[in-house]
Amino acid sequence: MIQHSLNLFFNPSSIAVIGASRTPTKIGYETLKNVLVSNYQGKVYPINPNASHILGLKCYPSVLALPYDVDLALITVPAKFVPKVILECGKKGVQGAIIISSGFSEIGENRLEDEVLETAQKHGMRILGPNTMGFKNATNSLDAAFVYGMPRKGSIALISQSGALSIGMIHLANSELIGLSKVIGTGNKIDIDDADLIRYFSQDSATRVIALYIEEIKNGKDFIEAVKHCHKPIVAIKAGKTKAGAKAISSHTGAMAGSDKIYGSVFKQTGIIRAHDTVELFDFTRALGSQPSSKGDHIGIVTNGGGAGILLADACEENGLVVPPLTKKTYKRIDDVLPPLIHPSNPVDIVGDAGFYRYEMCSRALLEDSSIDALIITSVQAGYARPREFAGAIEKMIYEQHLHEEYDKPIIGCWIGGKEYEDLVIDLKRAGVPIYPSTTRAARAIWALVEQGKKSFRFSKKSKN
């Protein structure tokens, strides 16, 4: 039942914009315009009792006056008119409504919200919001939100309690060349909430990873149930960790932040991977969306710069990961390709003149070593080494040869340098290769793959140090 109603929600055949405005500065105008300029293929009907045409489309005074069926209503009338509009939608047989309007429980108008929910439930209608930006479906190019900005098409579903933050995150993901499947502002969550969306996305073929920005979860039991049954990686930012943050939440949506310790232990128990900010959220989703989960916490490091290797070893250990010694066989293989006088260890320092071949040979040796579960390949723009050699090796190993699939071990890249590297990794990022410009970010991304592995597999004895 939930699946069916949310399917229609994200893939409606027809949309009514109720409160579509003639004035370009109003939200009702922007909302209608967004639906029209997106590549939405269904029917669109503006509803406004005071207008005959808006943006070239015939207007109807109410949904009840519309001689066609409507699957989804986008509501942009002032809050006090919303209960009547919802009642009309119910009578019309509208399946779902997005209430963009503010002025409900976030300012203490709980009764208005209760009335809306009661009417919607009576008519079997699903509600997103109120006080929401709406949603953006990159899979079918439907922009059902009032704020501009469409994500690149991809496989990460983003669910956010803050509309503005979700838009900022779309722009961040776009500039990081990360594709999203759908972006939803949950607003006050009177009906559709995080649990419903997790259930939906766990079955959505366009979605591989679910990302959440949470201020509060109202129905904790249902949320935990939904997460437990979801077999896709879930990454979440939980805001309001501190007293100042919790206070800011209550003035943002009127919600209670709840104890951060409780959220932390629920995340741990259910396997939700906690990200601390928006950059980290996308670092994690990029890795989880393209690499297999790690079957253990033993990390191999290949680097052309000793300092970068040490920083990575520190960052791995600080995140509870292990940088173990390698087998004798692996040392022998590495020794064969390294210049004389270099003693192989982990991190494997392939030194400043490392070219394509040395990166590839040493990486393969580590992937074939049973004491290694995951690999970080690093390059420092040290002048002596040509950045193209590193980028080419990563491209070949991950993008062309799919070594992460062949060995069923995650591989990520890390680089330290300037513009030349940044330009070289653009194509890699576009292809979904997880590659990061900092040792801390790379180690955290590997940590996320290890955490996901803990949920997917029971780690073998070797991994427990």
- Give phi and psi for 17, each to the nearest 5: -100, 105
Measured N-to-C along each axis, helices 387-394 and 356-367 cross at an angle, to the nearest 10 degrees, of: 40
Cα 207 to Cα 43, 180, 336, distances in angstroms: 26, 8, 43
In the bound state with ligand ACO, the residue whose beta carbon lies nearer, of 64 and 256, is: 64
How many residues sit close enough to ligand ACO to count as binding (CB under 6 A)? 29
β strands within 4-128, DSSP E: 14-18, 43-47, 53-54, 57-58, 72-75, 96-99, 126-128
In the bound state with ligand ACO, the residue whose beta carbon lies nearer, of 60 and 390, is: 60
Q: Does 47 bind ligand ACO (CB under 6 A)?
A: yes
Provide the minimum distance between the beta carbon of 274 and ligand ACO in the complex, in angstroms, as a whole number.
24
Torsion over CA: 96, 102, 105, 111 (sign): negative
Question: Contact with ligand ACO (CB under 6 A): which of 2, 14, 26, 109?
Answer: 26
Provide the minimum distance between the beta carbon of 244 and ligand ACO in the complex, in angstroms, as a whole number.
21
Q: Rounded distance, CA 349 to CA 361, Å?
A: 13
In the bound state with ligand ACO, the residue whose beta carbon lies nearer, of 86 and 206, is: 86
**Footprint on residues 393-432 left by ligand ACO (CB under 6 A):** none
**Footprint on residues 170-189 left by ligand ACO (CB under 6 A):** 185
Provide the minimum distance between the beta carbon of 346 and ligand ACO in the complex, in angstroms, as a whole number.
47
Q: Does 8 bind ligand ACO (CB under 6 A)?
A: no
Measured N-to-C along each axis, helices 419-430 and 387-394 cross at an angle, to the nearest 10 degrees, of: 10
Question: Contact with ligand ACO (CB under 6 A): which of 72, 74, 86, 100?
Answer: 100
Position closest to ligand ACO via CB: 163
Provide the minimum distance between the beta carbon of 226 and ligand ACO in the complex, in angstroms, as a whole number.
23
Q: Does 34 bind ligand ACO (CB under 6 A)?
A: no
Provide the minimum distance between the beta carbon of 156 and ligand ACO in the complex, in angstroms, as a whole number.
20
Q: Does 73 bind ligand ACO (CB under 6 A)?
A: no
Q: Rounded distance, CA 179 to CA 155, Å?
A: 6
Provide the minimum distance between the beta carbon of 18 and ligand ACO in the complex, in angstroms, as a whole number.
5
**Footprint on residues 323-342 left by ligand ACO (CB under 6 A):** none
Stretches 24-32, 343-351, 401-409, 441-449: which one binds ligand ACO (CB under 6 A)? 24-32
Q: Does 48 bind ligand ACO (CB under 6 A)?
A: yes
In the bound state with ligand ACO, the residue whose beta carbon lies nearer, of 18 and 445, is: 18
Q: Rounded distance, CA 270 to CA 233, Å?
A: 11
DSSP-assigned letters across all residues of 372-427: -SEEEEEEE--SSS-HHHHHHHHIIIIIIS-HHHHTT--EEEEEE--HHHHHHHHH
**Footprint on residues 143-162 left by ligand ACO (CB under 6 A):** 147
Question: Contact with ligand ACO (CB under 6 A): which of 28, 258, 324, 344?
Answer: 28
Q: Does 18 bind ligand ACO (CB under 6 A)?
A: yes
Provide the minimum distance between the beta carbon of 27 and ligand ACO in the complex, in angstroms, as a whole number.
4
**DSSP classification of residue 294:** P
Task: Give the chain's end-to-end CA distance (angstroms, integer).
Answer: 46
Cα 80 to Cα 6, 100, 111, 113, 126, distances in angstroms: 26, 13, 11, 10, 20
Q: Does 90 bind ligand ACO (CB under 6 A)?
A: no
* 366, 292 contact by CB (below 8 A): no
Q: Does 44 bind ligand ACO (CB under 6 A)?
A: no
Q: Rounded distance, CA 429 to CA 203, Å?
A: 26
Whose CA is closest to 349, among 374, 316, 327, 380? 380
What residues contact residue 161 under an 8 Å CB cut-off, 6+ apart?
Answer: 185, 186, 187, 189, 213, 214, 215, 216, 253, 255
Mark 42-76 as b/e (b = at least 16 C-beta within 10 Å): eebbbbbeeeeebbeeebbebbeebeeebbbbbbb
Provide the minimum distance between the beta carbon of 138 and ligand ACO in the complex, in angstroms, as a whole number.
18
In the bound state with ligand ACO, the residue whose beta carbon lies nearer, of 83 and 434, is: 83
Provide the minimum distance between the beta carbon of 323 and ligand ACO in the complex, in angstroms, as a whole number.
43
Which residue in the block uniquely carries the two structure tokens 């970080």?
376
Q: Rounded distance, CA 351 to CA 344, Å?
A: 11
Which residue in the block uniquely carries the two structure tokens 């939200």?
27
| Amino acid letter, residue 103 | G
Q: Does 262 bind ligand ACO (CB under 6 A)?
A: no
**Footprint on residues 116-145 left by ligand ACO (CB under 6 A):** 131-133
Provide the minimum distance between the beta carbon of 20 and ligand ACO in the complex, in angstroms, as a whole number.
7
Provide the minimum distance between the beta carbon of 61 and ligand ACO in the complex, in angstroms, as a whole number.
7
Interface with ligand ACO by CB under 6 A: which residues?
18-19, 21-23, 26-28, 47-51, 76-78, 81, 85, 100-103, 131-133, 147, 163-164, 185
